[in-house]
C-alpha cells in the first residue's frame, strides 16, 4: 500500500537499486479509471523512492474520463483543479518481461494531504476485502482474460491527433486481418502462433504470474489466459498486468490485441469472467459435508446476493455500450439472471470440481468483460455478496440448458429474466442499489454514474458496428 512510512522509503531505495542493476530504467505506475482504461505515470527508476515517499502527482480529472478521453460532468470530480498522489505498491513491483528496461507497479491514490482519495478504486477493493474478513470471510479470486489478436494496421491508423476521433478512423470489421485461421479451441491456432503464445507464457512466468490455462477461444483470432486464484486486490492487479503483457508481446510480434467486449459486432466477444471462492480461514465454503452442491449456508447467501444484484453489478462489470453488444444469449456470456451448476450460459456458474479436491469448488461471474475496472468489479461483487449474507439471500433452483433457446413463456414460467440489455438500463439498477451505493460511497459512485451516462449518451443511436469500431482498440 502507498505510504509515507520511513521503512518503506529504505526498502524503496533497495528495490530501486536492484531494479537498476537488472537494467530497469523506468517504472510504469498504473491505475484503472472508471471507464476501464489503465492510466499511467512513469518515473525513472532512481525516482522510485521519492514516489514511494511523496507519491506522484496526477489530476483527479481522470476519475471522470470516458474511454474516449472526454470528461464526463460529475458533481465532485472532473474539473481542472486539484492534484492526487499516486503511491506505488512496492510489494507488487514487477520487471516487465516484454518491455525491456521497464518495470510496473499498481498504485493507490491519495489526496495531497495524505487522506485516501475517496474515488480510489484499488482502495475500494481493499476496503471490501477487509469488510469480508471482518465478517469472517476470505475470498480468492481470478480473472479470465480473453482477447482477439489481429495483424497491426499501418501506423497512420494508430495515432490520434487533435481534432480527430481518438478511436482512429472507424475501421470496419472486414478490415481486420487475423494472424491465424484455425478453428475455435483448435490446435491449429497454437501451431500457427506458436512463438507468439510461447512468448506470452514465458513473459507471464517471468513476471511471477501463475497461469492456469492458455488456449484458443471461439471467435476468430481469439485466445484466453486464466490465472490462479489470489486475494481480490491481487487478482485485479494481475488482470491489469496480464493484459498489458499480452499487449506488449503482441506489439513485439507485429500484432495487435483487442480486449474490447465486442471486436466484431454480432459475433462472440471478449469476456473477462470473474472466478471466486469463499473460505473461512482455510476451510472452503464450497466443500460443506452433506450440503447440496457442497455449499455452506453462508456461501448460498453470498452467491444469492451476487445473483440478486447482477442487474446493478452490470453497470460495473459491463460498463461500456459495447458490453451490451457482447452480452447476448447463446454466446456463453451470461445474458440471463440465473445460475447453474457447470452451466456456461448462466450468468453465475457454479463450478463444483472434483469433490475430493478440497480447493476445487468456486463460482464464476460470466457476464463481466474487460472494459470493467477490475478493482471496482471485485469490490462490488464482494459488497453484493456480503449484503446477501447479511440479508439471508437464497439461491433459486439452478438452471440447466440455454434459457436463450426456451422462448418467452417458458422463461417466464421459470422466473428467469434477461439481464439489462443496454447500459442505461444497467445504470438505472445501479442507481437504485442501496448496498452498492453505500459500499462505493457518494464520490466514487457519482463518478462512475457520470462516466456511464456520458458513454451511453455518446453512443445513443449509434449502430452496433460503429460502437464496436470506436471501442475496439480502447481497452
Ligand atoms: N467469449 C465468451 C464471453 O464473451 C466466453 C467463452 C467462455 O470462456 O465461456 O464471455
Ligand atoms: Mg473463455
> Do 103 and 132 share a domain, yes or no?
no
Rounded to the nearest angstrom, the distance between the alpha carbon of 331 and the centre of ligand 1 is 7
- pLDDT at residue number 156: 58
224 and 336 assigned to the same domain? yes
Q: Is the pLDDT reported for residue 10 higher than 70?
A: yes
Residue 326 Cβ inside 6 Å of ligand 1? The answer reads: yes
Cα 270 from chain centre:
11
* Higher per-residue confidence, 9 vs 206: 206
Calculate the average pLDDT of the chain.
Answer: 94
The confidence score (pLDDT) of residue 94 equals: 98
Is residue 230 located within the same domain as residue 353?
yes
- Please work out whether the CB of residue 299 comes within 6 Å of at least one atom of ligand 1: no
Q: Is residue 123 part of a domain?
A: no
Provide φ and ψ at 53, rounded to 5°.
-80, -45
| Protein residue closest via CA to atom 7 of ligand 1 | 332
Render pLDDT for 40-53 as a digit per residue (tens, 0 to 9).
999 999 999 999 99
2 pLDDT more than 70 = no
Over range 10-29, report the average pLDDT: 96
Residue 170 has a pLDDT of: 55
Q: Is residue 370 part of a domain?
A: yes
pLDDT at 159: 47
Highest mean pLDDT among 153-157, 358-362, 377-381, 413-417: 377-381
Q: Rounded mean pLDDT of 155-170? A: 47
247 and 268 both lie in a single domain: yes
CA of 146 to the centre of ligand 2 (A): 6
- Residue 25 placed within a domain: yes
Give the global pTM: 0.95
Atom of ligand 1 nearest to the CA of 261: 4
Asked if 245 and 359 sit in the same domain, the reply is yes
pLDDT on residue 153: 78
Cell of 60: 483527479
Q: Kindly state whether residue 352 falls inside one of the protein's structural domains.
A: yes
Strands 336-341, 346-351: pairing kind: parallel
| Whether residue 471 has pLDDT greater than 90 | yes
Same domain, 373 and 248: yes
Co-location of 454 and 331 in the same domain: yes
pLDDT reported for residue 160: 44
Give the nearest ligand 1 atom to 272 CA. Answer: 10
**Looking at ligand 1, which atom is closest to the CA of residue 219?**
1
What's the pLDDT at 358?
85
CATH of residue 231's domain is: 3.30.590.10
Any atom of ligand 1 within 6 Å of the Cβ of 122:
no
Give distance in angstroms: CA of 243 to centre of ligand 2: 15
Residues 326 and 234 in one domain: yes
pLDDT band at 125 (very low <50, low <70, confident <90, very high): very high
User: What ligand has the least distance to the C-alpha of 369?
Assistant: 1
- Taking residues 2-18, what's their average pLDDT? 82
Judged against a pLDDT cut of 80, whether residue 147 lies above it is answered with yes
Report the percentage of the chain scoring pLDDT > 90.
Answer: 88
pLDDT for 17 equals 97
pLDDT (tens digit per residue) in 62-77: 999 999 999 997 877 7
Residue 7 pLDDT > 90, yes or no?
A: no
1 is a domain residue: no
For residue 41, the domain's CATH number is: 3.10.20.70
Mark whether 106 and 132 lie in a shared domain. Answer: no
Condensed to tens digits (0 to 9), the pLDDT of residues 399-413 reads 999 999 999 999 999
Q: Which of 213, 365, 185, 347 is nearest to 276 (CA)?
A: 365
146 touches ligand 1 (CB under 6 Å): yes
Q: Check whether residue 146 and residue 45 sit in a common domain.
A: no
Question: Same structural domain for residues 188 and 325?
Answer: yes
pLDDT of residue 6: 67
Q: What confidence tier does 172 reach under pLDDT thresholds 50, 70, 90?
A: confident
C-alpha cell at 366: 460470466
Query: Which among 143, 144, 145, 146 is the best mutation to test ligand 1's pocket, defined by most ligand atoms within 8 Å of the CB?
Result: 146
Instruction: Using the predicted structure, report yes or no on whether residue 124 has a pLDDT greater than 90.
Output: yes
95, 130, 169, 364, 454 from 165: Cα distances, Å: 34, 42, 7, 36, 16
274 shares its domain with 364? yes
Output the pLDDT for position 3.
53
**Overall number of domains in the chain:** 2
Tell me what the mean pLDDT of segment 168-181 comes to: 81
The neighbouring-strand residues paired with 233 are none
Q: What is the pLDDT of residues 227-259, one digit of tens each?
A: 999 999 999 999 999 999 999 999 999 999 999
Stretch 275-285: mean pLDDT, rounded? 96
Span 439-460, average pLDDT: 97
Q: For residue 17, how far is its CA from the centre of ligand 2 (angstroms)?
A: 40
- Domain of residue 55, residue span: 6-117
In this structure, is residue 431 part of a structural domain?
Answer: yes
20 domain residue, yes or no: yes
Confidence check: pLDDT of 164 > 70:
no
Is 269 close to ligand 1, i.e. is its CB under 6 Å away? yes
Q: What pLDDT score does 1 carry?
A: 45
Instruction: Look at residue 409 and tell me if it is in a domain.
Output: yes
Contact between 236 and 274 under an 8 Å Cβ cutoff? The reply is no
What is the residue whose three cell numbers read 456463453? 332
Residue 168 has pLDDT above 70, yes or no: no
pLDDT at 342: 92
**Ligand 2 centroid distance, CA of 144 (Å):** 7
Amino acid at each position: 500500500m502507498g505510504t509515507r512510512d520511513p521503512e518503506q522509503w529504505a526498502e524503496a531505495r533497495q528495490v530501486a537499486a536492484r531494479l537498476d542493476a537488472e537494467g530497469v530504467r523506468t517504472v510504469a505506475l498504473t491505475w484503472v479509471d472508471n471507464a476501464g482504461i489503465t492510466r499511467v505515470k512513469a518515473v525513472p527508476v532512481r525516482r522510485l523512492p521519492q514516489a514511494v515517499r511523496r507519491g506522484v502527482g496526477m489530476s483527479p480529472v481522470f476519475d471522470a474520463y470516458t474511454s474516449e478521453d472526454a470528461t464526463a460532468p460529475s458533481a465532485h470530480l472532473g474539473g481542472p483543479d486539484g492534484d492526487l498522489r499516486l503511491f506505488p505498491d512496492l510489494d507488487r513491483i514487477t520487471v516487465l518481461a516484454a518491455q525491456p528496461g521497464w518495470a510496473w507497479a499498481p498504485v493507490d491514490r491519495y489526496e495531497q494531504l495524505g487522506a485516501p482519495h475517496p474515488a480510489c478504486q484499488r482502495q475500494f477493493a481493499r476496503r471490501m476485502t477487509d469488510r469480508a474478513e471482518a465478517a469472517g470471510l476470505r475470498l480468492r479470486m481470478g480473472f479470465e482474460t480473453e482477447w482477439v489478436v489481429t495483424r497491426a494496421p499501418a501506423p497512420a491508423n494508430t495515432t490520434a491527433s487533435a481534432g480527430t476521433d481518438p478511436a482512429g478512423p472507424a475501421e470496419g470489421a472486414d478490415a481486420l486481418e487475423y494472424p491465424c485461421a484455425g478453428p475455435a479451441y483448435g490446435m491449429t491456432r497454437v501451431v500457427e502462433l506458436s512463438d507468439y503464445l510461447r512468448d506470452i507464457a514465458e513473459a507471464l512466468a517471468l513476471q511471477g504470474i501463475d497461469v492456469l490455462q492458455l488456449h484458443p477461444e471461439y471467435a476468430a483470432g481469439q485466445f484466453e489466459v486464466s490465472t490462479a486464484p489470489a486475494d481480490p486486490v491481487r487478482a485485479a492487479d494481475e488482470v491489469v498486468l496480464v493484459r498489458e503483457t499480452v499487449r506488449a508481446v503482441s506489439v513485439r510480434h507485429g500484432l495487435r490485441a483487442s480486449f474490447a467486449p465486442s471486436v466484431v459486432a454480432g459475433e462472440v466477444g471478449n469476456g473477462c469472467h470473474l472466478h471466486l471462492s469463499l473460505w473461512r480461514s482455510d476451510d472452503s465454503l464450497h466443500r460443506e459435508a452433506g450440503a447440496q452442491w457442497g455449499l455452506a449456508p453462508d456461501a448460498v447467501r453470498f452467491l444469492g446476493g451476487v445473483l440478486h444484484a447482477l442487474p446493478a453489478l452490470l453497470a460495473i462489470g459491463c460498463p461500456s455500450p459495447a458490453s451490451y453488444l457482447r452480452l447476448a444469449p447463446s454466446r456463453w456470456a451470461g445474458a440471463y439472471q440465473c445460475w447453474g451448476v457447470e452451466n456456461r450460459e448462466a450468468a453465475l456458474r457454479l463450478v463444483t470440481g472434483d469433490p475430493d479436491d478440497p480447493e476445487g469448488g468456486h463460482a464464476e461471474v460470466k457476464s463481466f468483460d474487460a472494459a470493467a475496472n477490475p478493482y471496482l468489479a471485485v469490490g462490488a461483487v464482494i459488497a453484493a455478496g456480503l449484503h446477501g449474507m447479511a440479508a439471508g439471500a437464497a439461491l433459486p433452483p439452478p438452471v440447466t440448458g440455454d434459457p436463450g433457446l426456451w422462448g418467452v413463456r417458458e422463461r417466464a414460467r421459470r422466473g428467469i429474466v434477461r439481464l439489462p440489455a443496454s447500459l442505461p438500463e444497467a445504470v438505472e439498477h445501479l442507481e437504485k442499489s442501496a448496498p452498492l451505493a453505500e459500499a462505493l460511497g457518494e464520490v466514487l459512485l457519482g463518478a462512475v454514474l457520470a462516466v456511464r451516462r456520458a458513454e451511453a449518451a455518446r453512443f445513443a443511436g449509434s449502430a452496433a458496428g460503429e460502437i464496436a469500431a470506436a471501442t475496439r482498440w480502447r481497452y
